[in-house]
Chain A
């Protein structure tokens, strides 16, 4: 790359937005990365990563790369991270990760090495940038073809067109590969709704819904069994856990009579039977 003829001052390379924006975004990004590292739950990690990525997108825009910033939001946070969450749904959202290390010494070695790596990188960057002056202006480059998107398009479809074609092929192959990997062959014909209901009637004593608890009960609570129209007690209406615990409430004799009266067509008001039709007619 030949140096651009414009004798660009170092200020030309300064990103827009100023230090404030940078520091806010940088702190959010690092916090998100650290959060991803220490979260026990994968969903939390994913959300932290989204946080980091959005702040990076903001930094892209501040670095005069608005197209990449948008793509970052749409592709990364919108598509890729959602794909992650989708897979987590299949694998199990609540499968929280034990943070106890199983490999001996792995954690401390990893921490030490990572620290050394970061330190060396920072030293190298600090040393390098001290001596190299920026060349050219990104604004000028953006403006050359009328905007950032046009400039990128010009590069992608001229100098990097082969890479573009290869990448598109890669995408197709990846899509096909994912389908191949996740495809499960069905060995039996798909069961229809009719067959499923027939199967259920054959199998279950109660094909329909179980009676709801507390029907016709003095105490409208889950520990009171329902009464059937003939006055008998429906134990199935009480959750099994309560029955096991012995918390099923007893039913009054009067309640049974009341139910039987109602089921025979009489309104029951304080021990007297009233014709139900009349009541409804009103």
Chain B
């Protein structure tokens, strides 16, 4: 019996379970209050932004309270959902009519089912912990109230995104998330690098949003509706071409939000934001939106194999891309960012696999949300104690001075590597297995990715916590963070350890999500045992290599003579260079030539017409002599012409 199978009484049913989500059921009972989920944080954001400085003293507590209230509502909903039979777990709450043009109707409606519920719990739960943590982390920032307002806005937008009942409402939340991320990444506005990073995130996200809006337009053209019910219920009636294009456009949108190749460039720069923001973006909100979109739109991808394959390819590329970048970075937050890219790549890969992968994509997303938030907050804790130093080459031996951070971070580290019985083991191994069900290439990429993940995470862990202290003299007195920061980390660390087992026990997550996403199993191309133990062996090998290599002295300045791959990875695999050369330069050139065209040709034509009219008028006005006799002569000439014309016509 292999490890996974022993812990998960795996679904023996070999027949696939069709997704059977009902988008039409009207909400009843406790579910009629689901609007409160969004209303709480939205009210917090509006109140904190409008109330001004008077609330500086206690504003952050309001933000925390609003987030916790939303979480409490989510928990109530969750238990209400568990208490109801499967058929009643999908609830739609109609709030008001938004657009009603002829037969095209888009109401503002919220839809809560098992998939949304999972996200709502993750967003509000992890989000609340990050809120609490931020109270300590941002204690000395004069703009803390504004920060909490933005955090609340972020949570509200993300909740609207996952609770939407139609693609248009989802788009609304989607843009809200983009706005909030822009505001938070460039929160330190006085730093040019932060301002630029925010702008970059915003612009790159716009590229993805184009895909989203085109997808919505295509849906409207193809199905005449943009609600989930109208689109996903009628996928069979559309041609495969239409489904493929809608799928590809949705994938473009997901790439923008989830920092997938080729729109990954903003994620590393987004580290300019405060660390709680990074945690929020990477764990609970924002980057998970793309995965949610793909899973939610599952029927479209199932009807369009090309689009589904594209999702797998994108996921696989990004998986490797992020892992390689993570191996070369010295900035602790950027390593974590590369890791996020890579893990989201896993989720995309799983989502692209179809019913065999949807559940595990969400499973990994939840597990990742916990351990990545844990590690980001841990990194924030380290920075807090190290005078905002982020270069790992100047850390070392921190396990003695930051015991709490060390223990919790280690839990996250083991979880992401996939060491049993930590959370990552259950989720990631199931993805790798599902990838092998699809074929050799995705399976091998996923398995190798796991090895690289182990390498760079161990590198980070080793350089930070073990070895000799390489602290610089500039007032670095490493110390443990206050309790208000440590407690959320501890909770997240506990979840990092246990969430995988909790969700996998008795196939809980599979049974929970199957009604929404469907589920299927196939034969893997390789034996189960080989996959299990082979992956584990690769993970351990990667970790051991990294430990042995970075346990020794690490030079404070990064070595210059390194392999081409390392140089490339240090430069984000030339993502920015590629964007600049392929998009920015030609764009600049195009803009310049358009400006030239505008100023010379268009303006020239317009000014020319004006000059012509002016010149002509200047000459014509000479006819206005002011002499009555002259005018009379013109009248007579006119009469003669008219008379001559009439006679010519008549005769």
Q: Which residues of A contact B (CB under 8 A)?
A: 103, 106, 109-110, 113-114, 116-117, 120-121, 123-124, 127
Contact = CB atoms under 8 A, between A and B. Distances in A.
B647 A113 contact: no
A127 B651 contact: yes
A117 B647 contact: no
B643 A121 contact: yes
Interface string B588-632: 000000000000000000000000000000000000010101100
Main SS of the interface on chain B?
helix
B636 A124 contact: no
Contacts of B639: 117
B593 to A, nearest CB: 53
A113 B632 CA distance: 11
Contact of B636 (A117, A123, A127): A117
B630 A113 contact: no
B293 to A, nearest CB: 81
Nearest to A110: B633
Interface string B632-651: 01001101100110110001
A51 B639 CA distance: 29
Nearest to B642: A120
A112 to B, nearest CB: 10
Query: 5 smallest A-B Cβ distances: which pairs?
Result: A120-B643, A113-B636, A117-B640, A116-B640, A113-B637
Given A117-B639, A117-B640, A103 B647 contact: no
Contacts of A113: 633, 636-637, 640
B640 A103 contact: no
Interface of B: 625, 627, 629-630, 633, 636-637, 639-640, 643-644, 646-647, 651
Contact of A117 (B627, B630, B643): B643
Nearest to B651: A127
A132 to B, nearest CB: 13
B641 to A, nearest CB: 10
Contacts, number: 32
B630 A103 contact: yes
B649 to A, nearest CB: 12
14 contacts: A103-B625, A106-B629, A113-B633, A113-B637, A116-B644, A117-B636, A117-B640, A117-B643, A120-B640, A120-B643, A120-B647, A121-B643, A123-B647, A127-B647
Contacts of B633: 106, 109-110, 113
A129 to B, nearest CB: 14
Contacts of B644: 116, 120
Contacts of A103: 625, 627, 629-630
Contact of B630 (A106, A114, A127): A106
A278 B300 CA distance: 157
Contacts of A127: 647, 651
Contacts of B637: 113
Nearest to A109: B633
A117 B642 CA distance: 10
A22 to B, nearest CB: 26
Contact of B643 (A106, A109, A114, A124): A124
A127 B651 CA distance: 9
B406 to A, nearest CB: 106
A136 to B, nearest CB: 25
A116 B625 CA distance: 24
Contacts of A123: 647
Contacts of A121: 643
Contacts of B640: 113, 116-117, 120
A110 B627 CA distance: 14
B645 to A, nearest CB: 10
Nearest to A123: B647
A113 B643 CA distance: 12
A49 B154 CA distance: 97
Contacts of A116: 640, 644
B203 to A, nearest CB: 69
Nearest to B627: A103
Nearest to A115: B640
Contacts of B647: 120, 123-124, 127
A118 to B, nearest CB: 10
A116 to B, nearest CB: 5
A113 B647 CA distance: 16
Contacts of A110: 633, 636
A4 B629 CA distance: 45
Contacts of A124: 643, 646-647
Specify which of A103, A110, A113, A117 lies most central, judged by the most chain B CB atoms within 10 Å of its CB. A113
Contacts of A109: 633
Given A103-B630, A120-B640, A121-B643, 9 more contacts: A103-B629, A109-B633, A120-B647, A123-B647, A124-B643, A124-B646, A124-B647, A127-B647, A127-B651
B636 to A, nearest CB: 5
Contacts of B630: 103, 106
B637 to A, nearest CB: 5
A124 B648 CA distance: 10
Nearest to A118: B640
Nearest to A116: B640
A140 to B, nearest CB: 32
Contacts of B625: 103
Contacts of B627: 103
Contacts of B629: 103, 106
B598 to A, nearest CB: 47
A103 B438 CA distance: 99
A48 B17 CA distance: 117
A116 B633 CA distance: 13
Contacts of B636: 110, 113-114, 117
Nearest to B638: A113
A19 B633 CA distance: 35
A106 to B, nearest CB: 6
A123 B629 CA distance: 27
B462 to A, nearest CB: 104
Nearest to B643: A120
Nearest to A114: B636
A116 B637 CA distance: 9
A61 B630 CA distance: 38
B24 to A, nearest CB: 76
A117 B643 CA distance: 8
Nearest to B632: A110
A116 B638 CA distance: 12
